[in-house]
Amino acid sequence: MKHSRLHLVLLGLFTLSVLTANAAQLASAKVLSISGTVNTYTEDSQSKPLKTGDILKQGDSIVTTPLSSAHLVFSNGSELTVQENTSVTLAELTQEAFSGKKSYEQLQADPSKSQSLLELNYGKVSGHTKKLRQGSTFHIETPLGTAAIRGTHYTVEIRYNAERGEFLLIVTNKDGKVDIISDYIGNFEYGRGNIGDKRYDSTLTDDKSEAIPPAHTIVIRLSKLDPAYDDIINALKNYAPFQGGDDRPETIIIVTPPIEDPGVQIASPNEPEQTN
């Protein structure tokens, strides 16, 4: 009897370990398409060109060059497009084991509890997070705040405004549920173009969280007067995975100006100010 119980215990532990390993393997992202030149970097900074069909795991980073992009699908069915001149890291990916034969791209909802945390180092991503299960999360973290996304089309962007010397976080909720979590002053009031604009304050001790209505955009601005300005700009210049290495490409980010800033050229802090 004791041997039988021991056998059952060992079998249970083995089954649990297999399920845990399977869950770890499930937590990944598949590359659906590539346009232009896109590279992927592992946690130890090993680099290779990204190809359609590649499987990315936790800790991998994607870096796109000008006129390039990558389209991914995650193990929870959510899709992400990494736009040109962008660096994003798959900081955390977990997915509980689930049954079924559907491929990632066939999923219309989260098949099991999942946790996804992406770090947008610079640039812009857009995507469609499909219906998540209770307890699942899909977050995109930036130096100025985090977009918590549940079942929506969205965009998240980090810009540097060379004319004003401002660092900006821009999040758009197109048609679903997105919360912004950040240290900003006041409450959002949406004006022309359904845009809400607030100043980031690094001296605040508690993050604020607010739901962004569908078809609305928030802009959070970090000015030169903020005590954390230099630290955040230096972090941008030393974004993962390069951390200031000699092979780090320039973070050139030139984008369409916001509605409230007509005529402003947007560039990285590594580049001289550009004029019309």
pLDDT tens digits, one per residue of 191-210: 989 999 999 999 998 889 99
- Does residue 274 fall inside a structural domain? no
Q: Which CATH number characterizes residue 198's domain?
A: 2.60.120.1440
| Model confidence at 276: pLDDT above 90 | no
- Does residue 255 fall inside a structural domain? no
Q: What is the pLDDT of residues 181-196, one digit of tens each?
A: 999 998 888 998 999 9
- CA distance linking residue 211 with residue 190, whole number of Å: 12
- Does residue 248 fall inside a structural domain? no
Computed over every residue of the chain, the mean pLDDT equals 77
pLDDT of residue 237: 67
| Model confidence at 222: pLDDT above 70 | yes
Q: Under the phi-then-psi rule, with left for phi > 0, alpha for psi from -120 to 50, and beta for the rest, what region is 143?
A: alpha
Residue % of the chain over a pLDDT of 70: 71
- Does residue 163 fall inside a structural domain? yes
- CA distance linking residue 202 with residue 198, whole number of Å: 13
- Does residue 246 fall inside a structural domain? no
Lowest mean pLDDT across 63-72, 116-125, 157-166, 228-237: 228-237
**Count of other CB atoms within 10 angstroms of residue 127:** 23
- Three-class SS state of 271: coil
> How many distinct structural domains can be found in the chain?
1
- Does residue 269 fall inside a structural domain? no
Domain span holding position 163: 2-237
- CA distance linking residue 276 with residue 259, whole number of Å: 17
- Does residue 264 fall inside a structural domain? no
Cβ within 8 Å of residue 134, ≥6 positions away: 113
- Does residue 89 fall inside a structural domain? yes
**Predicted TM-score (pTM) of this structure:** 0.77
